[in-house]
A and B are shown apart, each in its own frame.
Chain A
Amino acid sequence: MVCRNTFTTATTAGLLLAALAACSPVAEPAAPTASASASGDVCPDGGLPTHTAGKLTIGTDTPAYAPWFSDNKPSNGKGFESAVAYQVAQRLGYPAANVIWTSVTFTNAIAPGPKAFDFDINQFSITPERRNAVDFSSPYYLVRQTVITVKGSKIAGAKSLADLTSAKLGAQVGTTSYAAITELIKPSAKPSVFNNNDDAKAALVNGTVDGIVVDLPTAFYMTGAELDNGVIIGQLPQVGVPEQFGLVLDKDSPLTGCVSKAVDELRQDGTLAVLEKTWLAGSGGAPELS
């Protein structure tokens, strides 16, 4: 009841504001009202001031790529981010039946302005610049570095870090990927350093390097979409300060605290680690190298 009222009030207030500010481009409705009334019960199970009352609306882009999603169907619960989204929903008291998926382009999700979702999951790196426009939950994934190569390369069958020490590896300058080569793999040949990942990729295709190190999302994108014979050898242990992926919420959303709490719980009880292993390191993914 409480939340329905809140929602109505919020909508009315929003409409009023929108009507008042007829020509101004952005209406920022409801947020203060909603958070004020939600403060009584911090995170009521299934009773959050969501976009559609009683339902949790989750956004992501179309097409949704593997291994983050599966078959471009976020609602099937398969793929790392789909699985994470359903786990977060569960924690917030929304069973799978009450989860609505909506398609939001990557750029729109992090642009300021009203949102059509409660939270959006689409490999968003948490950056201070983006924080000016939207809220982020606590991170649900810390990006790992990954070695990729092409079929027929001499390291295509490598299974461990030791198998890579004789390889000529490359990475983009000034990245964690380069640090991963010099600090973890420590190859005998001096690594090649490139201005950007495109140059590194070109050198890999040309065979002037045996393999390159990129972050995991890039690795999946390169081997899946850009390289003809791309092969993921595996992901490396964490090194340096990793990039963090967070769920995106509207700026000052009343849900941010609750969603962050849910993510923190999932990390603490090991659910996130299991999901990472299943969807990112499992079959068709990037095996862990050690």
Chain B
Amino acid sequence: MTDPVHRPSALHQERIVYRRRQAIRSVLLAALSTAVVGTVLGVLITGAPGWDRVRRSFLDPAIGDRFLPDTLSGLWLNIRMLVVCAFCALALGLLVAVLRTLRGPVFFPVRALATVYTYSFRGLPLIIVIYVYAFGIPGLRLQGTPNVTVLGGAAIVVTYGAYLAEVFRAGIESVHPSQIAAARSLGLGYRQAMRFVVLPQAVRRVAPPLLNDTVALQKDVGLISLAGPIDAIRAAQIGVAQTANFTPYIVAGVLFVLLALPLIGITDWVTLRAARRQNAGA
């Protein structure tokens, strides 16, 4: 009765051909417009009267090469700082957020302290916190004061901890109260409800902004150089001062972008996955 091989109708075949033609046409158009925009930008920049001077002072391969090793060894400090600071700041932020959402009059002092902390450290410029930690604390001349790198790292952790605490709190408060009520009615204690019901949902919801703050942190850990250690930007700055050429900055900039790419990629992927999961039931 019916042909086992599906044969589109003439009308449909026409439609397929039409669609294919449209697809090819749009690809060609996109390529053309990209080429036009690219050429215009290229001509505008390389044809500018100062282009030669700019290229010499910002894109000198010999100078970039000369300061690459120093910049890389500075970047290694950035990476180590990033890993340690991100981990500590996330832990601190989560702790403060949980403290801020504690209910009951007994916990008022804890809530108040956590609130004062998030208010003040989100307001304080990071540079000033680093100055106070790295120059003020060693000035006390206490036994066993850690070195300035650790102190500067602590300054970064308390500042970012305050931001991350607020992100975590937003996540916790976005979980509907009925969830806690349901958990409690099942016999879970407050801590268990928090641990097994609220936090898993909260963290998942705020994962993209958390990762976003981590990307920002990656650039701010370099401020540790205020206290003396040489990070990637500082190494580049030394090169710029020695050669009166800005290429080392460009090199450091490219290295930072390369360092950020994986994190940014993960952020996008997590966001996408969260969106897919949330819409799965719809």
Query: 0/1 per residue, B200-230, Cβ < 8 Å to A?
Result: 0000000000000000000000000111111
CA distance A170 to B225 in the complex (A): 12
Give chain A nearest CB distance to B43 CB in angstroms.
36
Contacts of A194 in B (CB 8 A): 226, 228
Contacts of A190 in B (CB 8 A): 229-230
CA distance A193 to B242 in the complex (A): 14
Do A192 and B229 have beta carbons less than 8 Å apart?
yes
A-facing residues in B31-85 (Cβ within 8 Å): none
Do A195 and B135 have beta carbons less than 8 Å apart?
no
B-facing residues in A169-214 (Cβ within 8 Å): 170, 173-175, 178-179, 190-195, 199, 202-203, 205-209
A205, closest chain B residue (CB):
B139
Contacts of A179 in B (CB 8 A): 242
Contacts of B227 in A (CB 8 A): 192, 203, 208
Give chain B nearest CB distance to A266 CB in angstroms.
33
Give chain A nearest CB distance to B194 CB in angstroms.
42
Given A206-B135, A207-B141, A208-B148: A199 touches B241 (CB 8 Å cut-off): no
> Which residue of the partner chain, among B134, B141, B229, B234, contacts A173 with CB atoms under 8 Å?
B234
Do A193 and B138 have beta carbons less than 8 Å apart?
no
Contacts of B139 in A (CB 8 A): 202, 205-206
Count A-side interface residues using an 8 Å CB cutoff: 20
Give chain A nearest CB distance to B136 CB in angstroms.
9
Given A174-B238, A174-B240, A178-B238: A202 touches B229 (CB 8 Å cut-off): no
Given A174-B241, A203-B135: A193 touches B225 (CB 8 Å cut-off): yes
CA distance A277 to B242 in the complex (A): 30
> Which residue of the partner chain, among A193, A202, A208, contacts B238 with CB atoms under 8 Å?
A193
B143 at the binding interface (Cβ < 8 Å): no
Do B230 and A193 have beta carbons less than 8 Å apart?
yes
Given A190-B230, A195-B226, A199-B226: A207 touches B138 (CB 8 Å cut-off): yes
A200, closest chain B residue (CB):
B228
Given A193-B225, A193-B234, A203-B135: A208 touches B147 (CB 8 Å cut-off): yes
Do A192 and B228 have beta carbons less than 8 Å apart?
yes
Contacts of A175 in B (CB 8 A): 241
CA distance A209 to B228 in the complex (A): 9
B267 at the binding interface (Cβ < 8 Å): no
Count B-side interface residues using an 8 Å CB cutoff: 19
Do A208 and B237 have beta carbons less than 8 Å apart?
no
Give chain B nearest CB distance to A175 CB in angstroms.
8
CA distance A194 to B225 in the complex (A): 7
Do B228 and A203 have beta carbons less than 8 Å apart?
yes
CA distance A191 to B228 in the complex (A): 8
Contacts of A209 in B (CB 8 A): 228
Contacts of A207 in B (CB 8 A): 138, 141
Contacts of B237 in A (CB 8 A): 173-174
CA distance A170 to B135 in the complex (A): 14
Do A206 and B138 have beta carbons less than 8 Å apart?
yes
Contacts of A192 in B (CB 8 A): 148, 227-230
Give chain B nearest CB distance to A183 CB in angstroms.
11
Contacts of A193 in B (CB 8 A): 225, 228, 230, 234, 238
Q: Select the residue from B135, B228, B234 with max chain A CB neighbours within 10 A.
A: B228
B141, closest chain A residue (CB):
A207
Do B135 and A199 have beta carbons less than 8 Å apart?
yes
CA distance A205 to B135 in the complex (A): 9
Contacts of A195 in B (CB 8 A): 226
CA distance A205 to B229 in the complex (A): 17
CA distance A175 to B237 in the complex (A): 11
Q: Which residues from chain A sit less than 8 Å from chain B, CB to CB?
A: 170, 173-175, 178-179, 190-195, 199, 202-203, 205-209
Q: What are 29 A-B interface contacts by the 8 Å CB criterion? A: A170-B228, A173-B237, A173-B241, A174-B237, A174-B240, A174-B242, A175-B241, A178-B238, A179-B242, A190-B229, A191-B230, A192-B227, A192-B228, A192-B230, A193-B225, A193-B238, A194-B226, A194-B228, A195-B226, A203-B135, A203-B138, A203-B228, A206-B139, A206-B141, A207-B138, A207-B141, A208-B134, A208-B228, A209-B228
